[in-house]
């Protein structure tokens, strides 16, 4: 369990949050710039000192302003990945990696050099100097360097924000491996919904220094009352289990949690029983009154209307749906809503194009 | 005719003074420069201005105040007399103190620029990698600021070699103790011994040119240090 109660007042900016976050998995701190997400992270790291604070990481208190405890950053067992990799320019990649590693007592090391370099695919870069690395490589070295301190908490401050989309997609798989293979809780700051959707298990939405919401990713992303729903990339996360794979058509069949509903997505082969996370964007979900097999749309799910909200575009509305317990969002025109007579409780069919599902 | 033994004594004394001054300045200039580059205190302005004063003050003004301070009735003089050391005026130690003050901005400012250029990020990174502040100083700041230290040392040394006014005010002209090259040249000229002055002045000119040459050509190759 990660507890962070932070209060801080700067000219023109205040932070006032009380967060209780799961002690494992990836928690995303999501918000626009100026929402306080980076300040949160810096306070937790001790790089910034909140005037009133209580910070406890799985039982270990790092700061308690009431008792005057302030553990300086270099004594906090944390790893920090900055937005720009911030590698030491005077050291080789290997020496950068060893910088943190050699300052950790041998019996405290849980990640070794071979493991970290393998995990991030940087084994071939060790002799190089940071100036001769690409942005993506630099960031991977930065992540490995942080991991090598065997942190009890990994803090990542928009590690992909400084990279172009190609570099981003180069790093994302490594971050996913991190999530799957290491048991280190991660706080991940981002303003990009697609990153959050792919990586996070838990989501905190920040706005103007306050936490608007904190909850499991699936639930929180589907909430219509948060600014998340307004964006063009609004959507939900589905963590399904592979039930079959059609090699001829390269389609993966995914069972929605706690249901008998399957959706099909285009994907590389995966073994039956494996878990896969995919994102269904609200704008890719359409609604019909009746199931129609005469359609190119592969995924047709019986759903119930939960609620409705105006969208950022006056011609659109956002509809929250329930597919056997799994929330879905649909962005449709106001015209269609009136044509179908959409109202809470109504049974409808949601259609999702298989090619639109991001897996 | 070439350099006399008195000339060599002056050169040796000058090198000794400049080396010692540079060494002292690197030690005390580093914390001052670090503080000036990091502090947000209101004192930053006043301290920065005091450090920079020798850049604009005539050396005779610095020398005059030092003469008073180190003299038998000055606060430094009282202190050294209380210690049983007598007064520092017209002594090598006094010259070192004067030179340290006189050359201070030439050491502190390049260091301050180097520390500012490093910024706070590498220090934060080092802290999150478990390095305590001292560790961070030696393993991150020092190596990253190396070009700044080299510039500071060269400028501090060269500027001390070129010192004249302060020496004359507080050191006088005592062979082997306070008679540095610049004073020796002055002596030669006073004695109308121009040819002897040529030798020393020429040596100084060549030396100063070589120092600056090293500084300016070194700078280019170190351009990408940050």
Q: Do B128 and A45 touch (CB under 8 A)?
A: yes
Chains A–B, number of C-beta pairs less than 8 Å apart: 61
Mean pLDDT of chain A: 90
CB count, 10 Å around CB of A39? 23
pLDDT of residue A199: 86
Question: What is residue B42's three-state secondary structure?
Answer: coil
Q: What is the pLDDT of residues A324-359, one digit of tens each?
A: 888 899 999 999 999 999 999 999 999 998 888 877
pLDDT of residue B219: 63
Structure tokens at B199: 């030798």
- For residue A146, the chain B residues in CB contact (below 8 A) are 128-129
Domain boundaries, chain B: 5-220
pLDDT of residue A19: 93
Q: Is the pLDDT of residue B222 over 70?
A: no
The answer to whether the Cα torsion of A196, A201, A207, A212 is positive or negative is positive
Domain with residues B5-220, CATH architecture: Orthogonal Bundle (1.10)
pLDDT of residue A231: 74
Domain boundaries, chain A: 2-221, 235-356
Q: What is the pLDDT of residues B14-43, one digit of tens each?
A: 999 999 999 999 999 999 999 999 999 999
Q: Is the pLDDT of residue A237 over 80?
A: yes
The CATH number for A2-221, chosen from 3.40.50.300, 3.60.130.10, 3.30.160.620, 3.30.9.10, is 3.40.50.300
CATH 2.30.40.10, domain A235-356, yes or no: no
Q: What are phi and psi of A323, to 5 degrees?
A: -110, 85
Which of these, A30, A24, A21, lies nearest to A3 by C-alpha position?
A21
Nearest C-alpha in A relative to B124:
A47
Q: Report DSSP state, residue A289.
A: S
Task: Determine contact, residues B118/B145, Cβ cutoff 8 Å.
Answer: yes
What's the CA gap between A6 and A250, in Å, rounded?
Answer: 49
Task: Determine contact, residues B136/B126, Cβ cutoff 8 Å.
Answer: yes
The answer to whether the Cα torsion of A15, A71, A4, A157 is positive or negative is positive
pLDDT of residue A354: 84
Q: Do A74 and B143 touch (CB under 8 A)?
A: no
Which of these, B111, B123, B94, lies nearest to B48 by C-alpha position?
B111
More confident residue, A51 or A229: A51
pLDDT of residue A268: 87
Q: Which of A44, A81, A89, A132 to mutate to test the interface with B (most CBs of B within 10 A)?
A: A89
Q: What is the pLDDT of residues B159-211, one digit of tens each?
A: 999 999 899 899 888 888 889 999 999 999 999 999 999 999 999 999 889 98
Structure tokens at A88: 């030491």
Q: What is the pLDDT of residues B99-108, one digit of tens each?
A: 999 999 999 9
CA A72 to chain centroid, in Å, comes to: 28
Query: Is residue B123 left, alpha or beta, with left meaning phi > 0 and alpha meaning psi from -120 to 50?
Result: alpha
Q: What percent of chain A has pLDDT over 70?
A: 100
* Burial of residue A117, with CB atoms counted within 10 A of its CB: 0-12 exposed, 13-18 middle, 19 or more buried: buried
| Mean pLDDT in residue range B114-134 | 95
Task: Determine contact, residues A280/A236, Cβ cutoff 8 Å.
Answer: yes
User: In sequence order, what are the beta bridge partners of A254?
Assistant: A242, A263
For the ranges A12-26, A200-214, A215-229, A258-272, which has the lowest average pLDDT? A215-229
pLDDT of residue B220: 53
ipTM value for the complex: 0.81
């Amino acid at each position: 369990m990660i507890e962070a109660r932070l209060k801080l007042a700067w000219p023109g900016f205040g932070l006032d949050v009380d967060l209780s976050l799961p002690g494992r998995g990836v928690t995303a701190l999501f918000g626009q710039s100026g929402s306080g997400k980076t300040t949160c992270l810096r306070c937790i790291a001790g790089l910034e000192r909140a005037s009133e604070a209580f910070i406890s990481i799985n039982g270990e208190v790092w700061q308690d302003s009431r008792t005057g405890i302030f553990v300086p950053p270099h004594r906090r067992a944390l790893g920090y990945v900055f937005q720009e990799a911030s590698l030491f320019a005077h050291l080789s990649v290997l020496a950068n990696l060893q910088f943190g590693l050699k300052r950790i007592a041998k019996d405290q090391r849980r990640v070794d050099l071979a493991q970290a370099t393998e995990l991030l695919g940087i084994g071939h870069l060790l002799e190089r100097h940071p100036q001769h690395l690409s942005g993506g490589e630099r960031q991977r070295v930065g992540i490995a360097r942080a991991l090598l301190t065997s942190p009890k908490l990994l803090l990542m401050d928009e590690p992909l924000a400084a990279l172009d989309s190609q570099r981003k997609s180069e790093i994302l798989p490594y971050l996913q491996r991190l999530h799957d293979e290491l048991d280190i809780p991660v706080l991940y700051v981002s303003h990009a919904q697609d990153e959050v959707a792919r990586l996070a298990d838990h989501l905190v939405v920040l706005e103007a220094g306050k936490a608007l919401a904190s909850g499991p990713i699936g639930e929180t992303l589907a909430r219509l009352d948060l600014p998340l729903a307004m964006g063009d990339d609004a959507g939900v996360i589905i963590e399904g289990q592979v039930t079959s794979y059609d090699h001829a058509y390269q389609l993966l069949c995914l069972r929605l949690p706690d249901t008998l509903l399957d959706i099909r997505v285009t994907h590389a082969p995966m073994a039956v029983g494996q878990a896969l996370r995919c994102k269904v964007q609200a704008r890719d979900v359409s609604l019909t009154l009746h199931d129609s097999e005469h359609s190119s749309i592969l995924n047709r799910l019986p759903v119930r209307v939960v609620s409705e909200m105006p969208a950022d575009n006056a011609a659109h509305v956002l509809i929250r749906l329930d597919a056997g317990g799994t929330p879905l969002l649909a962005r449709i025109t106001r015209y269609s809503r009136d044509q179908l007579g959409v109202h809470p409780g109504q049974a409808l069919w949601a259609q999702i194009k298989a090619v639109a599902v991001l897996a | 005719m070439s350099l006399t033994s008195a000339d060599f004594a002056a050169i040796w004394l000058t090198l000794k003074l400049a080396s010692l001054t540079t060494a002292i300045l690197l030690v005390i200039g580093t914390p001052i420069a670090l503080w000036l580059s990091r502090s947000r205190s209101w004192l930053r302005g006043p301290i920065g201005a005091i450090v920079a004063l020798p850049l604009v003050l005539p050396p005779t003004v610095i020398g005059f105040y030092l003469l008073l301070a180190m003299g038998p009735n000055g606060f430094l003089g009282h202190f050294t007399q209380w210690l049983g050391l007598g007064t520092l005026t017209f002594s090598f130690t006094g010259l070192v103190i004067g030179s340290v003050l006189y050359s201070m901005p030439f050491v502190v400012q390049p260091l301050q620029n180097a520390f500012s250029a490093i910024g706070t990020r590498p220090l934060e990174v080092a802290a999150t990698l478990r390095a305590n502040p001292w560790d961070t100083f030696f393993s991150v700041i020092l190596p990253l600021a190396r070009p700044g230290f080299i510039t500071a040392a060269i400028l501090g040394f060269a500027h001390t070699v070129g010192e004249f006014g302060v020496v004359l005010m507080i050191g006088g002209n005592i062979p082997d103790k306070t008679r540095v090259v610049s004073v020796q040249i002055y002596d030669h000229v006073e004695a109308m011994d121009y040819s002897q002055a040529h030798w020393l002045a020429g040596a100084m000119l060549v030396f100063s040119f070589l120092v600056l040459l090293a500084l300016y050509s070194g700078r280019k190759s170190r351009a990408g240090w940050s």
